[in-house]
Structure 1
Amino acid sequence: PEIQGVRPLLEVQQRLSALPQRDTLLVETLKSREGWLLFLYAFAGRRVHLGLGSLLAWRLSRDRPLTFSIAVNDYGLELLSASEINWAEALNAELFSETDLLADIMASLNAGELALRRFREIARISGLVFSGYPGAAKSNRQLQASSGLFFEVFKQYDANNMLLTQAQEEVLRQELDLQRLELTLRQINRRRLDLHAIKRATPLAFPLLVERFRESLSSEKLADRIARMVRDLEKAAGPEHEQ
């Protein structure tokens, strides 16, 4: 029954892109109004995908100034760049190299979103960022802007700040699994890259988009956005699957 229930989604995934295979690494690219997106499905778990996304973003931005947003789930990761990027050229062997892994991970912590995400939570709990009065709470966007400003100031002018150090230590201890990340990179390098330029979000990409939207949209706007995406998927599935 479970397989029958997801069969329509699998058919849509196959039609819009491809289904993951044991010997391939499925990667999808999409140009949207937000920017240039990459969806990579390593099926290695959320913790590994957090580290992998941060690592890839760091390595991609070494040669040119690029900023990435990262979203992850148990199946894969999403990278979003506001600047144009040729994903087919960027996805080379060096990007997935195991060489200098620890050094690059530490560098990515300072440059990327992993430590920033943890710092946001620490800043909120510590009272560094005021979330607003009852009935007049600040929006997620306002809170992220405030904590992000503190993060950048501490990183540039007070690198030994206790809250900043705590964020970095918690990420390494609680969120990253370096051994599994290294194993995942080794497995990726054994697989054939299956790259697809998609025109709309696939069923596998859908949850990653929602993960990113959740951080920047209010509950009502998020619900509206998800409803539009569901209608788009239903349209792709064909009239027999539309409600």
Structure 2
Amino acid sequence: MTTSPIRIHVVITLTSPTGLLHLNKVASVVRVLNNIRGIYADLPVTIAVPKSEESTVQDLLERAGLHSGTSGETHVEAKSDIHKGEKGLVTPMQDDGGSRTNLANTNIVICDPTSPVDLAKTLADIISSTDALLIADASTPLTRPDQFEKLVTSFKAGSDAVRPYIAFTETLKIVDSKAIIKETLDRTSVKRIQSPEMIRCSAIDVQPDRDFQGSAGGWSVPLKVGARVDYVEGIPEALRINTEDDRDLLESFLHWRSTNA
């Protein structure tokens, strides 16, 4: 018995202006896009951006010689079953951002990427016509290919929504407004969530009139009640860029890796 290829649509979300910061002269959002294209060259990609950043993202992609235009095409079926996990489907992440990557079938959509409801509503047509969303944060530029493989493996095993995490090693304290320590948290009960997410479209709740504030579980789109949620082991270098200092740290890591390869 043969199984049909799983149709996957890649979504890159610009949830913060830090996704526009340059890492070794390549904008983080462009680097995320190139990393994904280096692994899954044929998958359709949608970049979700706020209206205020539309022209900036468009300009970054065009100046990089990458953007294929806004064709209006929202879904293209993958040419192969990427869930076979074959080594030939994975290429090493490039420190230069992979600026020669072919980015056909890439679109930009306007919404509030930080709102699960708005993102799901904007992607409703895609959600109804594909099997899974692979959602990557534009501010997390150093996700390795094996992270995507882990998501795919978990998805094949039955996960409705899966994403990486790393354990906290720091001591976590709760302090009051006067900086007085009130409680020490059990670090094993806290996860440091990473990008990307892989979500089964049938597990996404796209009802726009419901209030999902606090009920989406921190996922990029609202999940239906009863959805199976799983986690895979993350990696330290998949750090989210929240500040320019974070960007500088990742640049230092890339320099270290290139000089010690």
TM-score range, shorter chain: under 0.3
Q: Which has the higher strand share?
A: 2
Q: Which has the higher helix share?
A: 1
TM-score, normalised via structure 1 length: 0.26
TM-score, normalised via structure 2 length: 0.25
